Amino acid sequence: MDKKTTMPINLTINGKPVSAPEGSTILEAARGAGIRIPTLCHHPDLTNVGACRLCVVTVEKARGLQTACTTPAAGGMVVNTESQEARETRRFVLEMLLSDHPNECMVCETNGDCELQDLAYEYEVPWPAAGATHHKYEVDTDPNPFVAIDRNKCIVCGRCVRACDEIQNREVWNFANRGFKTRLVAGADQPMLEARCESCGQCVAYCPVGALYDKMSVGVARANKVEKVRTVCSYCGVGCSFDLNVRDDRVVRVTSTAKAPVNGMALCVKGRYGYDYVHHTDRLTKPLVRRDLLSSSTSDERRSGRSSDLVEVDWDTALNLVARKLTDIKSSHGGDAIAFFASAKCTNEENYLFNKFTRQVLGTNNIDHCARL
């Protein structure tokens, strides 16, 4: 539906006149007007289920509190998001959640980037006294090498279930049992990969707490320890963008961002978890030259057969050698005796320079790359 062409709805929220497109929920109308309503199970990319009851608000003439994420905004509605009743209900919900939550923020991967922690702080909900029954699930039992699960921290918000179903379209997660026994399971309580998981990490990205987390980043990538650098994926041509999380000059995690123009929060397994090649010990760190190329002062007569080994040299030596050799080939055989493979992995600026180097410096049009392959 094209919301622009329909009639706006006018309502009042917290005494302020608000206008919202037809079809908006109270939550959308409020957020559109810059009024914050806390949520946990809601995410703007996902369908609303009204499960966590954090977004409850008072609506005049309506009986009881309404969940803002599922109640449609209507003309003339008068909404109070900060009524005493609403705030008390939120506090109660948070107390309930914390009463069955491990008191582990100190060692939790998601500390500092946790929606439950933020809300407990905002609503000044203290840690409940011991006594309540806690779940005692074993942690990180799934063999998936990328995604770890700590069900003790799961608040049963269902965001992972909907992210996998609606964004990834894979339907891996679902809830087994009801009530206190409700338990997040993959497929028919199988390992994730057997339940058709593609290891995209969308469920991790949408989990509001530390129940799902990135295995590769355990112990190194807490939010307050990393710097985020927005960039674009180095693999396929979709052009997903994401944030490299950097700590001590190393990429320790990739996080997705709703601001990515192509992909939003979605990434694939390579983009999200395929970054560690950057720091692999196989990386080349010094220019290499065949040993026998270093000894002969005139390169023209040399026929190496590349029998000698590659040895490390400094940049000046390597650059001068290549400059001299290419210049020689051009002067004795012409520029067309040289060819250049440009790279689909390099930037536009670099490829422009490859093209300029080939045409201006070498004087040939022999340039191509593996676009076709």
Partner 1 sequence: MTNSIRDITEESRSIFIIGSNTTEQHPVIGIKVRRARRRRGARLIVADPRRIDIANYADLHLRHKPGSDIALLNGLMHVIVREGLQDQKFIDGRTEGFDELRTVIGKYDPKVAGRITGVAPGDIEKAAVMLAENRPGTLLYAMGITQHTSGVPNVMSCANLQLLLGNLGVPGGGVNPLRGQNNVQGACDMGGLPVFFPGYQKVTDPKAREKFEKAWGVPLPDQAGLTLVEMVKAAGQGKIKGLFIVGENPMTSDPDLNHVRQALEKCEFLVVQEIFLSETARMADVVFPAASFAEKDGTFTNTERRVQRIRRAVSSPGEAKPDSWIMAELAKRMMALGVATCDAAAPYHSWDYVQPPQVLIEINSLTPSYAGIEWARLEGGQSLQWPVPNRDHPGTPILHTEKFTRGKGRFVAVDHTPPAELPDEQYPLILTTGRVIYHWHGGEMTHRARNLQAMCPEALVEVHPKDAARAGIGDGKPIKVASRRGEITAKAQVTDRVEPGLIFANFHFAESAANFLTNPALDPEAKIPEFKVCAVRIEKG
State phi, psi for 125 to the nearest 5 degrees: -90, 115
Q: Which does 348 bind (CB under 5 to 8 A by kind): ligand SF4, partner 1, none?
A: partner 1
Which is closer to partner 1, CB of 146 or CB of 173? 146
The answer to whether residue 114 forms part of the interface with ligand SF4 (CB under 6 A) is no
- In angstroms, what is the minimal distance from the CB of 194 to partner 1? 13
- Look at residue 39 and give its three-state secondary structure: coil
- In angstroms, what is the minimal distance from the CB of 120 to ligand SF4? 14
The answer to whether residue 235 forms part of the interface with ligand SF4 (CB under 6 A) is yes
- Look at residue 243 and give its three-state secondary structure: strand
Contact between 355 and 368 under an 8 Å Cβ cutoff? The reply is no
**How is residue 206 written in tokens?**
């949408």
Largest CA distance in the chain: 96
CA dihedral 67, 73, 76, 78 (to 10 degrees): 30
Segment interacting with ligand SF4 (CB under 6 A) among 11-19, 152-160, 297-305, 321-329: 152-160
The answer to whether residue 163 forms part of the interface with ligand SF4 (CB under 6 A) is yes
The answer to whether residue 197 forms part of the interface with ligand SF4 (CB under 6 A) is yes
* Interface pick for ligand SF4 out of 11, 93, 97, 157 (rule CB under 6 A): 157
* Interface pick for ligand SF4 out of 68, 79, 98, 184 (rule CB under 6 A): 184
Segment interacting with ligand SF4 (CB under 6 A) among 4-12, 120-128, 166-174, 354-362: 166-174
Sign of the alpha-carbon dihedral angle for 100, 104, 109, 110 = positive
**How is residue 324 written in tokens?**
């001299």
- In angstroms, what is the minimal distance from the CB of 326 to partner 1? 6
Q: Which does 156 bind (CB under 5 to 8 A by kind): partner 1, ligand SF4, none?
A: ligand SF4
Which is closer to partner 1, CB of 181 or CB of 303? 303
Q: Which does 341 bind (CB under 5 to 8 A by kind): ligand SF4, partner 1, none?
A: partner 1
The answer to whether residue 238 forms part of the interface with ligand SF4 (CB under 6 A) is yes
The answer to whether residue 132 forms part of the interface with ligand SF4 (CB under 6 A) is no
CA 335 and chain centroid, separation: 46
Segment interacting with ligand SF4 (CB under 6 A) among 56-64, 75-83, 193-201, 288-296: 193-201
Which residues have C-beta within 8 Å of that of residue 54, sequence separation ≥ 6? 38, 39, 40, 41, 90, 93, 94, 119
Which is closer to ligand SF4, CB of 81 or CB of 174? 174
Q: Which does 347 bind (CB under 5 to 8 A by kind): partner 1, ligand SF4, none?
A: partner 1
Cα–Cα distance for residue pair 96/101, rounded to 1 Å:
9
What pairing do the DSSP bridges indicate for beta strands 212-214 and 147-149? antiparallel
What is the CB-side half-sphere exposure of residue 109 using CA atoms within 13 A? 25
CA dihedral 107, 113, 116, 118 (to 10 degrees): 110
Which is closer to ligand SF4, CB of 163 or CB of 293? 163
Build a one-symbol-per-residue string for 271-290: x at contacts with ligand SF4 by CB under 6 A, - elsewhere: x-------------------
- In angstroms, what is the minimal distance from the CB of 234 to ligand SF4? 7
Query: According to DSSP H, which parts of 123-185 are helical?
Result: 159-162
Q: Which does 61 bind (CB under 5 to 8 A by kind): ligand SF4, partner 1, none?
A: none
Cα–Cα distance for residue pair 373/371, rounded to 1 Å:
6
**How is residue 63 written in tokens?**
């009986």
Length of the chain: 373
> Binders of ligand SF4: how many residues, by CB under 6 A?
38
Cα–Cα distance for residue pair 71/351, rounded to 1 Å:
53
- In angstroms, what is the minimal distance from the CB of 172 to ligand SF4? 4
- Binding residues for ligand SF4 (CB under 6 A): 147, 154-160, 163-164, 168, 170, 172-173, 184, 192, 197-203, 207, 209, 211-212, 233, 235-236, 238-240, 263, 267-268, 270-271
